[in-house]
Chains A and B, each alone.
Chain A
């Protein structure tokens, strides 16, 4: 290439290139940067070979490009101008792509992106949701041009901005244009770029320098890498413009050596610029002189700090200096220096070429333009995204990012890496800009967004960041050097289960001190990850310290296996799964019963937190733990059923339990096992509590409950039926009768009311959820017809709707005031209800019930509307103008339950909680009166069976401690069963290929709604054994560490 002597020659070159490029009919763009780790190089070579073999070299150009953004589906290729995207392409696919798509315009189904819901292929990039909400400005060329060919950049309009700046604008105009565009520094701090330039421009001194900070060290960030690799000339053109504006003659671009492709592409780009005369003396004949040198970092995070970076360029240890003086006054070599981040520089050509007013069209009042984020962690569509500033975090994580894999729950997104903080779920609707994110304790940062789900532990994340910053702290100033060490020590202690409550205050105090007194940006922000997780997840810190519990089930010292740790009852899951695998089903049941005496019930209706944490789920699908539990329990009751003999009574104390639900019976069982005589008082003629009276037969057959209760009775638990505790027989009376302790577990069985007109008027056709289910379970004749409207979104509402289908309703409509995703009901039940024909209408809030002559005719709803406050918190309001009236012959109100405490009328000395139940100590479940304990749904409000069971066992241990005079805290650590089944199963086989989970058979929807038969069929023996073998035995890994 010949040196360009004038601005006109550059235009001439552009036209020449464009004329030459028109020949190819289609271009296949293959990502040769990020996708290289997935073999995109081989894909490109294969495509080139196939194109050549078919003699299509004239018509088809196979082009290596930068990152397309959709890294989750690498290697990604695009066929232009058709706009087709193919993903996860192998070299073997090349022939088919050439033959079918390039020669015959056919689409290849198997290489297309699939809509995650419908599984339908989406061929065109503009239709893929990942791209649809993005606004590609800075990244417009990345992934389309070949970054190592300057002609491509020029053909795409590159270097037009420097031409404009040199030929039509004074340096002052350029600074003005950047200022009025409102561009703020993309490195994280968000300082107005134009202002920074003005300072450097007006500073006295010669020569002046411009620097590009490409030391992208934040773990979790890869935006700058992608720009440098995919469109290096955009950054370099930005620097040329900046140098012209500021009056700098020398420039440095500092890039991490860990980015070999970026280094390579920059080196090529710099050579090309020099050849064309875009660097050096008298650039484009305008008299502008500028040289640019690349410097490679040598692996020090602190060099991302501007003063440290300059020290590193000067060949010194990369230690920061106090500011002021700022680099604009005394920077590199003591001369005025302007330093901007890669992405900031890449924005400059856009502003100069298109003007500030164009640039400002996008963004918020305070922050203009777009921002690039690297989306990583627990999100489906990991990759590089560019969005208008002001878009909500929810849009980025869920719309573009496609949400969390494996149906797990979102916990937080970490923004700004080790200098940032976490953004928890309540701020998902917050608009992303510098100021809002700062307000909630995180920072926009350079753009790394790492998504965390429920399986991540925030304390461990804070510890992780501190261990990073501690080792990267340069050591120059004491607050950072010593403070990070102390913080790390405290956080490590907490994750090891050796924390103290006082540690929480120490973190806060230390954090504030480090923030205020550190020398540079690194130290001033190191405490953020700890402070922000502490702010939003205090209870997780407390759980680590007090209860030895890690919500993410990741902290080694307290977790044997994630499944066991996430089970509220702490069942040794891997060992009973192994027992099933070897056909020892009775042993499996024994292992379960160490923590949970209801294997048959939980095998059917447990919400199985264990499966969401199962590590197999990271590989393919979680082990079907719940279904295996059911299989073992069913086998047990078919073959054994009873305890050989009751547990012997070895203690003098007797204990009374009020309520024979899961919590009460569990407490009774463990106390009996410990040798106490226990009597359970039950008001109803049957045991089982909420299980027996409200969970419909088709989910939990009565026989299963009876089998479990009979077993408990055979162990020595005495249940007195039809024996209510009330004004005639009070808790005080029980104590007087010689019981050493009483456990009250009376459930939460009074239905909440809506409080709307028409509800309390004794109308025919109005039912309340629990009562309705109870009546049907008790066999009371209830016949529905026509349309039935169910109001509510919880488990009971779904049970009510499905039951209504089975007692004659023609059409069941659920109305819920929030979205379907927000329904508290179990997802599986919602799906089954929809299969059965139940219709769910989200976002409608009931207004009044319509009636005529004492009979219901319908119900009026108003549209719910989510209102956000300043912090992005959502509140539910209604739009009174948007209403609809629904005809109905029956309305079942099922919006929640509360404990009924009326039976305690005479026991007034018991302290009540604010919401009506008894106040208890969370750890020991003891009330204000010694010897009286309460738990289960009764004190927690409606919850899950497994939590009620856990509460019952906790009560048993607390009562035992109390009776033995032990005043310490109740400690329930995870323990391995004494009945270990050490198969060493799949652990070494983890290398083995995927093996999907065995599917549990279900009754057909159209048949099952005719009666109350059980919907789920359970495993047969060979299925159970096969499924049990999928367990990876994480519990054994601990011994091997």
Chain B
């Protein structure tokens, strides 16, 4: 599967809703990212134009925040927590296993755009350590067994479609 073609109409309708609004850059970028799964490079100039900014300012904000990505992401974004609690409870070996299972390094997306592997500073789910999120769902107290079963669940869902 390929990432969605950029729907220019949708993009400009989003931008027009934020046009000339004060301090709107980050919420606007968040909406673009929510809609497209990433921020297409081609949207930098129209965004800058809409908010009366320089494209470099837009680009600067995108690259500053870890939450924004200029690369398309997979359908399922796996976010492994690398917080302290997870770390002391063995998140490193979970990370190793996850890389092996998905065949991806941190920040990479599979060629079929199914999975993206990311690490995140802390999910604030320390009581579940070691923890991860797949899109918006939390998974906790990860063991190698659980990692494998969660992943196979998402792979299976895919197979059924």
Contact = CB atoms under 8 A, between A and B. Distances in A.
Interface of A: 34, 36-38, 71-72, 74, 216-222, 225, 256-260, 295-301, 312-318, 374-378, 382-384, 414, 417, 448, 450-452, 456, 461, 464-465, 468, 472, 474, 618-619, 990-992, 1037, 1041
B18 to A, nearest CB: 10
A382 B126 contact: yes
B145 interface: yes
Given A464-B84, A464-B87, A218 B61 contact: no
B53 to A, nearest CB: 9
B50 interface: no
B85 A376 contact: yes
A257 B30 contact: yes
Q: Which 9 pairs from chain A and chain B are nearest by CB?
A: A71-B127, A219-B83, A299-B67, A376-B126, A298-B65, A376-B85, A299-B66, A315-B25, A37-B138
B30 A298 contact: yes
Given A217-B121, A298-B67, A375-B127, 19 more contacts: A72-B127, A216-B124, A219-B86, A220-B122, A221-B124, A222-B125, A222-B126, A259-B124, A260-B136, A296-B27, A298-B66, A300-B65, A315-B61, A316-B25, A414-B84, A461-B88, A464-B87, A468-B121, A472-B121
A258 B120 contact: yes
Contact of B124 (A256, A382, A619): A256
B142 to A, nearest CB: 11
A298 B29 contact: yes
Contact of B67 (A72, A297, A451, A619): A297
Interface string B82-110: 11111111100100100000000000000
B24 interface: yes
Contact of A258 (B87, B90, B123): B123
B122 A37 contact: no
Contacts, number: 151
A327 to B, nearest CB: 16
A689 to B, nearest CB: 40
**Interface bin, chain B:** 35 or more
Nearest to A252: B23
Contacts of A36: 138
Nearest to A460: B87
Contacts of A74: 127-128
A414 B138 CA distance: 24
Contact of B122 (A38, A218, A297, A378): A218
Interface string B1-43: 0000000000000000000000111110110000000000000
Given A37-B128, A383-B127, A468-B121, A316 B61 contact: yes
A720 to B, nearest CB: 51
A299 B65 contact: yes
B139 A220 contact: no
B159 interface: no
A1004 to B, nearest CB: 38
B144 interface: yes
Given A220-B83, A377-B88, A300 B66 contact: yes
Contact of B84 (A37, A259, A299, A450): A450
A222 B138 CA distance: 14
B140 interface: yes
- Most A CB contacts (10 A, CB to CB) among B68, B87, B120, B137 go to B87
Question: A interface, by DSSP: helix, strand, loop or mixed?
Answer: mixed
A220 B140 CA distance: 14
Nearest to B90: A618
Contacts of B140: 37-38
Given A417-B84, A452-B88, A221 B127 contact: no
Contacts of A312: 26
B96 A315 contact: no
A220 B143 contact: no
Contact of A314 (B23, B125, B138): B23
A377 B67 contact: no
Contacts of A452: 88
A219 B144 CA distance: 22
A222 B84 contact: no
B129 interface: yes
Given A217-B121, A219-B121, A298-B65, A991 B84 contact: no
A222 B79 CA distance: 17
Interface in B109-161: 120-129, 131, 133, 136-140, 143-145, 148
A402 to B, nearest CB: 13
A74 B79 CA distance: 21
Contacts of B93: 1037
A991 B144 CA distance: 6
A222 B25 contact: no
B145 A990 contact: yes
A408 to B, nearest CB: 12
Given A36-B138, A452-B88, A1041-B96, A221 B129 contact: no
A37 B82 contact: no
A377 B85 contact: yes
Given A298-B67, A299-B65, A456 B88 contact: yes
A313 B122 contact: no
30 contacts: A37-B125, A37-B128, A37-B137, A37-B140, A71-B128, A74-B127, A222-B124, A258-B122, A258-B124, A295-B26, A296-B26, A296-B27, A297-B65, A298-B29, A299-B65, A299-B68, A299-B121, A314-B23, A315-B26, A316-B57, A316-B61, A375-B127, A377-B84, A377-B88, A377-B89, A382-B129, A383-B127, A991-B144, A991-B148, A1041-B96
Contact of A298 (B26, B83, B148): B26
Contact of B30 (A72, A296, A313, A456): A296
A852 B140 CA distance: 68
Contacts of A217: 121-122
Contacts of A383: 127
A297 B68 CA distance: 11
B151 to A, nearest CB: 12
Contacts of B86: 219
A991 B145 contact: yes
- Most A CB contacts (10 A, CB to CB) among B79, B120, B144 go to B144
Contacts of B126: 219-222, 374, 376-377, 382, 448, 450
- Most A CB contacts (10 A, CB to CB) among B24, B29, B79, B93 go to B93
Contacts of A221: 122, 124, 126
A990 B64 CA distance: 40
A316 B90 CA distance: 36
Contact of B88 (A296, A374, A450): A450
Given A37-B140, A295-B27, A299-B120, A992 B125 contact: no
Contacts of A448: 84, 126
- Most A CB contacts (10 A, CB to CB) among B26, B64, B139, B144 go to B64
A315 B23 contact: yes
A219 B85 contact: yes
Contacts of B82: 219, 468
A375 B23 CA distance: 37
- Most A CB contacts (10 A, CB to CB) among B65, B90, B121, B126 go to B126
Contacts of A218: 122
A376 B129 contact: yes
Contacts of B96: 1041
A992 B127 contact: no
A631 to B, nearest CB: 29
A260 B120 CA distance: 14
B70 to A, nearest CB: 13
Contact of A317 (B29, B64, B145, B148): B64
Contacts of A318: 64-65
Contacts of A374: 126-127
Contacts of A38: 140
B26 to A, nearest CB: 5
A991 B151 CA distance: 13
Contacts of B144: 990-991
A529 to B, nearest CB: 10
B66 A315 contact: no
A378 B89 contact: yes
